[in-house]
Amino acid sequence: MKKKSISIIISILIFIIFLNFSYLRSLSIMPLYSLYHKQNSIMKQKNFTIHIPGGSITKEKDWYPFVMTFHDKTISSSIGEEINLTILYNFGAFEKGRSLFYKKDSDYFNAFYGAYVIESKDNNRKYGFNEKGELIEKEIMKISSHDIETLVLKSIGCRNAKVTFHPISPPRKANYLSYKNWLIVDSTIISKSPLHHVKNFYPAYIQYGKPPKNYKGKDFLPTHLYGRMYCRYFEEYDVTILLYILGPNSEMVDKTDHEILSKTVIKK
């Protein structure tokens, strides 16, 4: 009986420690969540892989250790077009119990990188491209807007999220990841800050942790970001792949592109 009581006490203590160590909680739950979505992903259905390195590839404390997968079942109703969407994504590393996603003076404030994999349910359609192979920027931005507004900001309680994109220059061609004919779009972006006062529990807190308790400003203030997107249609998989980086300044975007995103591998 005594041993049983000790076991119960130890179990309770472990549970309390688990609840109070948000990074441990995130690392314990997110790989399983990601694995579930990976099994339902477009890549799994079409038998190819996209490997994007995580934050462990660099020496700095910059990004979360690994890239996660999310297969989005809400996208068609959101953008008004029948498509499938799988998202690969990563966000800022943890510091003092929360992601740098919340740290205003960090290069990784409100920052993400990853990939959008898009399959049109119309067999004659190459999502994001017209018949001449030209990029339809409005369609591409619909995907990013849905991600930021609905999947990120709404998941932490922001109900009036609105994102606007302002391309810096026309799309330019580039060879990237050993593939030709990517189209690159660099943009300035007006979005909302993730900083807010915690009033309810949101499941996304498991992923990012909670914003700091000593935050004194207003909830979800407007913020300026910089974004880069590599866009290409892959005939062999019948999907459009968008590789993206989003963050508070162009220097961080260039650095992440060079150190991480450019090391992406797409293969059968």
Which tokens belong to 24? 């441990």
Q: In this structure, are residues 167 and 155 in contact, taking their beta carbons and an 8 Å threshold?
A: no
Q: Give me the domain span that covers residue 94.
A: 30-267
> What is the structure's pLDDT at 11?
53
> What is the structure's pLDDT at 5?
52
Residue 2 domain-assigned? no
Q: What pLDDT digit, counting tens, does each position of 225-244 carry?
A: 999 999 999 999 999 999 99
> What is the structure's pLDDT at 17?
46
Residue 51 domain-assigned? yes
Rg (CA), the chain: 20
Residue 109 domain-assigned? yes
- pLDDT band at 214, cuts 50/70/90? very high
Environment class of 95 (CB within 10 Å of its CB; exposed 0-12, middle 13-18, buried 19+): middle
Q: In this structure, are residues 228 and 245 in contact, taking their beta carbons and an 8 Å threshold?
A: yes
Question: Which residues are paired to 83 by β-bridges?
Answer: 120
Other beta carbons less than 10 A from residue 104's beta carbon: 16
Q: What pLDDT digit, counting tens, does each position of 58-84 carry?
A: 999 999 999 999 999 999 998 989 999
Residue 6 domain-assigned? no
> What is the structure's pLDDT at 43?
98
Question: Which residues are paired to 228 by β-bridges?
Answer: 186, 245
Residues 195, 221: Cα–Cα separation, whole Å = 8
Q: What pLDDT digit, counting tens, does each position of 127-166 carry?
A: 999 999 999 999 999 999 999 999 999 999 999 899 999 9
Residue 179 domain-assigned? yes
> What is the structure's pLDDT at 123?
79
Mean pLDDT of the chain: 92
Q: In this structure, are residues 86 and 36 in contact, taking their beta carbons and an 8 Å threshold?
A: no
Residue 154 domain-assigned? yes
Largest distance between two CA atoms of the chain: 76
Number of domains in the chain: 1
> What is the structure's pLDDT at 122?
86
